[in-house]
Amino acid sequence: MATNENPKGGGDPGPLLELRGITKRFPGVVALDDVSLSIHRGEIHMLLGENGAGKSSLIKVLYGAYRADAGEFRHQGKVIRIDSPADAKALGIAVIFQEFSLVPFLNIAQNIYLGREPRGRLPGLIDHARMHADARAVLQSLGLSYDTHALAGDLGVAQQQMVEIAKALSQNARILVMDEPTAAISDRESEALFTVIRQLREKGVAIVYISHRMKEVFELGDRITVLRDGRCVTSMEAAQATPEQMIRSMIGRQVNALFQRKGRFTPGDVALEVSGLHTSTGVSGVDLHVRAGEIVGLSGLVGAGRTEVARAVFGADPIASGKVTIFGHEVKGEPDSVVALGVGLIPENRKAEGLALGRSVQDNLLISSLWKLFPKGWYNAREAMRRVGALVEKLRISPPDPLRPARVLSGGNQQKIVIGKWLNAGCRLFIFDEPTRGIDVGAKMEVFSLIEGLAEQGAGILLISSELQEIVHACDRAYVMRGGRISGELAHDELSEQNILRLAI
């Protein structure tokens, strides 16, 4: 059993909360195996591990969403029980999960104070003016000026994430758990968040922070704990660790933290051409093209219009004016007609838009290719299982059980399923929108290897990413957006983080 030593020295009163020997089993799986974790006041404790390593299970045990099968909790040295989220909240534990918990038809203020609404002067009434004022105050502490009357369902992914963070901060938590909080927000928003996190640390708040971004692990972290296969494999002060050590601990082997292209391929015919694209979602006069065998980046700050371009190309959002041509055919229809031309979209929000979470891995892998595989309308179960088995093996989906519901898989394996369904459909043009959001470094390398393999086979790739290093290292060239427009194009020898940022801001 790996344990966490006291990082604070003799003057420290000891851990605020300890998890000792926590074990959690599910049918056929040991999610947590004798894991211990110490959480100290005024410390940012980074929790690392591949998807499926047990991080989410540990957090759900800490929050009372799961009950541990073995082990104990100690709060300020005293043995306690955490059997429900209510128990966790009573201890001052707040969790920002990677899966959003906002109610789409409620406004921002209502979401932040849901279940904690300030009372009005008369019994049973809510003081809405105070609620909106308090919501604005917590948002302003994050450097945000959102309209608190806006509905959560009308917000983008990045804005929803920031509201989730504001909701947790509004609870005055003594222990704040953050699961990939920067996965869908811009660098500017991330810096504002980091400032707030440091302020909370100075006030004595204990922070458990899950991240796959090594830069922020070492920029923020005081202590780092690594999980692998449900076990705690190492825990040390961040000042004593290196990114290479942490990556090796996470996956048990040496891996480069940055994807490096194995080769560059000679571009073929134009797969996608966008001319003078305007949409009601804010895209204005966009021109770009992607050739077969080419990986083309689409960069810019969150909110610059990248996703809106992808959705318009895919037929998900209407085109006000301009033209989208795919393999020589002008696109005028819905997504089904675009898919028929050989286009696959891997959306930024895989859970809401890329997967049927309640269905099996097999159903998700087959959903986009049924008519291609069975053109006469007769479903062949044996052939379907053979095709799915080959994809599960090729994509290294874990666990390799085609009948397991997609919702129980890790984020990295869910992303592989979204990609796999388009491989089955025989697509020749792929639009990847934030394909590595919320997945670990090992899964990132696998996703980029898949992308490079598709380009090598002659597919055209449009890659949207907020990770500038991904654009620089993976792409042949890139377009940069600002305010719904293309602000510039960078050839391969011009690709650098500095040049992208210069065009983005």
DSSP string, 349-391: -IIIII--TTSBHHHHHHTTTHHHH-TTS---HHHHHHHHHHH
Cα(212)–Cα(363) distance, integer angstroms: 29
Spell out the per-residue pLDDT of the chain, length 505, in tens: 334 444 444 455 689 999 999 999 987 778 899 999 999 999 999 999 876 788 989 999 999 999 999 999 999 999 999 999 999 988 999 998 877 789 999 999 999 999 899 998 888 899 999 999 999 999 988 878 899 999 999 987 778 878 988 888 888 889 999 988 887 676 777 887 888 889 889 989 999 999 878 888 999 999 999 998 899 999 999 999 988 888 788 877 555 555 677 778 889 999 999 999 999 988 999 999 999 999 999 998 777 899 999 999 999 999 999 999 999 999 887 898 999 999 999 998 888 888 998 999 999 999 888 877 888 888 888 888 998 999 899 888 888 889 999 988 887 888 889 998 998 888 999 999 998 877 777 778 888 889 999 999 999 999 999 888 889 989 999 999 988 999 999 999 999 888 888 888 7
Report phi then psi at 226, rounded to 5.
-115, 130
Q: How open is the CA angle 351-423-451, to the nearest 5 degrees? A: 85
Residues 70-97: b if buried by 16+ CB within 10 A, e if exposed: ebebbbeeeeeebeeeeebbebbbbbbb
What order do you get walking across the sheet with 284-291 strand by strand? 284-291, 270-279, 319-326, 329-330
How many Å apart are CA 184 and CA 438, to the nearest integer? 8
8 Å CB contact between 10 and 1: no
Burial (CB count <10 Å: 0-12, 13-18, 19+), residue 68: buried
Chain-centre distance of CA 312, in angstroms?
A: 22
CA distances to 18, 406, 444 from 368, in Å: 47, 15, 24
Which conformational region is residue 172 in: left (phi greater than 0), alpha (psi within -120 to 50 degrees), or beta?
left
Domains and CATH numbers, the chain: 103-172 (no CATH), 264-342+427-505 (3.40.50.300), 358-426 (no CATH)
Q: CA angle, corner 470, sides to 467 and 474, nearest 5? A: 160
Q: Which two tokens stand for residue 491?
A: 């050839």
Q: What confidence score (pLDDT) does residue 11 get?
A: 53
Q: In DSSP terms, which residues pair with 241 in a beta bridge?
A: none
CA dihedral 198, 203, 206, 207 (to 10 degrees): -20
- Residue type, position 452, single letter: E
